[in-house]
Amino acid sequence: MTTDTDQFKEIRPYYDHEAHTVINRIINHPELIEAICKFRFPQIHKPLGFLLRPLIRRKLQSQFANIDNVHDFQMQVASYMARMIKNSTSGFTVSGLDQLDPEQSYLFVANHRDIAMDPAFVNYALYLNQSSTVRIAIGDNLLQKPYVSDLMRLNKSFIVNRSAKGIREMMKALTELSSYINHSILEEHHSVWIAQKEGRAKDGIDATDPAIIKMFYMSRKKKKDGPAFSDVMNELNIVPVSISYEYDPCDEQKARELHAVATEGEYNKAEFEDIRSIVNGISGFKGKVHVHFGHPLKGELSDAETVAEKIDQSIMDHYQLYDSNWLALEMLEGYDHISGKPQISDTSRQVFTDRINSYAEEYRPYVLRMYANPILNSRRLLAS
């Protein structure tokens, strides 16, 4: 291992030589065993937990105890992904991978709707294409439990330090993040996935934060006689990625947060709420899911705003619109002039109507907006 690699040991993913120790630590962690018990056996985990927990531990040991590298761990994850796609979607499709070189490393900048599933679907698409999986940027706010941090880092996640306080500490954290992303892509030749902005697009509006783009350049800018901004953007091989869900398993939860902010001025998350969002995103019904990989950005990329605009345009151009989006727009009323609405079956209409009607009345406008906004955004019709 090189000294350069060691400097990132606090934030980087685990390497192969660390995998066996980490896996054994994970599969014997009491909190993980308990979490799986509750998830798999919600009705009987309390009275029969003393019987179920040892069985779960033995099952995990039989599947993972002999794994000693990250690739084999991810192959086990792939089998769970296949089962999850079968049970919680009505189809998973991919486009755009044919225009990427599987031997090249890329910086995938994606719209962000689901904490865990966005990068998981990107990784699964790459896996099906027999391409290398990505390293995933994940906020330290999601790593409140040690076993969760271990799981994420074993699955090629690296840590974004969002808890840094004060200007100096924040700048140090951002520079380290910038340095690691450049190091991963340009020196270790390993692709990276990162969301286009901090936090999920709870309102369904996908927009790249130019500050994220500036961060990519931060570590290179500090070097004497360093490369120009446009040169670095070209070197990083930035690929916009658009992921589209027919249904969002967390739509009601997001609407509750948006409603609280609109009516009370703020929303205070419950403890481990993000963990519950991850579980809901994995297990909840998603309908059809599509991932599109755009063309790598090349040419004159003079500033962060230009790069952000190009990413946004690619994501909007390739966002897959579903019946749920058009039905939401129809229910909001006042948008009859917008063309492109497909023929919608009575079954699709009933399913979406039942979904909306199952939510509290005060949340419904927010849910409808989050489904309709991808259409309004692509038509540049969003109110400022």
Averaged pLDDT for residues 301-322: 97
pLDDT at 4: 47
Between 105-119, 296-310, 329-343, the lowest mean confidence (pLDDT) is in 329-343
Least confident of 4-13, 78-87, 114-123, 363-372: 4-13
- Residues 6 or more apart in contact with residue 36 via CB below 8 angstroms: 56, 60
What is the percentage of the chain residues whose pLDDT exceeds 90? 83
pLDDT of residue 383: 56
Average pLDDT over every residue of 352-372: 98
Rounded to an integer, what distance in angstroms lies between the CA atom of residue 159 and that of residue 271? 20
> What is the tens place of the pLDDT at every residue in 220-273?
997 777 899 999 999 999 999 999 999 999 999 999 999 999 999 999 988 778
CATH number belonging to domain 92-317? 3.40.1130
The b/e string for 263-277 (b: 16+ C-beta within 10 A; e otherwise) is: eeeeeeeeeeebbeb
CB 383 within 8 A of CB 213: no
Residue 32 CB-density burial (10 A; 0-12 exposed, 13-18 middle, 19+ buried): buried
Chain segment 130-172, per-residue pLDDT in tens? 999 999 999 998 887 888 899 999 999 999 999 888 999 999 9
What does pTM read for this prediction?
0.93
Helical packing angle, 146-154 and 16-27, nearest 10°: 140
- CA dist 348 and 288 (Å) reads 12
Structure confidence by residue, pLDDT tens digits, 103-135: 999 999 999 999 999 999 999 999 999 999 999
**Nearest-angstrom CA–CA distance, 230 and 299:** 8
Q: Which residues contact 117 (CB under 8 A, 6 or more apart)?
A: 281, 282, 286
Nearest alpha carbon to residue 40 among 29, 52, 31, 28? 52
Kindly list the distances between the CA atom of residue 124 and the CA atoms of 77, 82, 237, in Å, as whole numbers in the listed order: 10, 9, 20
Q: Please, which residues bridge with residue 110 across strands? A: 195, 241
| Domain locations in the chain as residue ranges | 92-317, 321-384
The pLDDT confidence band at residue 84, using thresholds 50, 70 and 90, is very high
Q: How many CA atoms lie within 13 A of 38 on its CB side?
A: 8
Per-residue H/E/C for the chain: CCHHHHCCCCCCCCCHHHHHHHHHHHHCCHHHHHHHHHHHCCCCHHHHHHHHHHHHHHHHHHHHCCCCCHHHHHHHHHHHHHHHHHHHEEEEEEECHHHCCCCCCCEEEECCCCCCHHHHHHHHHHHHCCCCCCEEEEEHHHCCCHHHHHHHHHCCEEEECCCCCCHHHHHHHHHHHHHHHHHHHHHCCCCEEEECCCCCCCCCCCCCCHHHHHHHHHHHHCCCCCCCHHHHHHHCCEEEEEEEECCCCCHHHHHHHHHHHHHHCCCCCCCCHHHHHHHHHHHCCCEEEEEEECCCCCCCCCCHHHHHHHHHHHHHHCCCCCHHHHHHHHHHCCCCCCCCCCCCCHHHHHHHHHHHHCCCCCCHHHHHHHHHHHHHHHCCCCCC
Q: What is the pLDDT of residues 42-80, one digit of tens each?
A: 899 899 999 999 999 999 999 998 999 999 999 998 999
Separation CA 272–CA 249 (nearest Å): 17
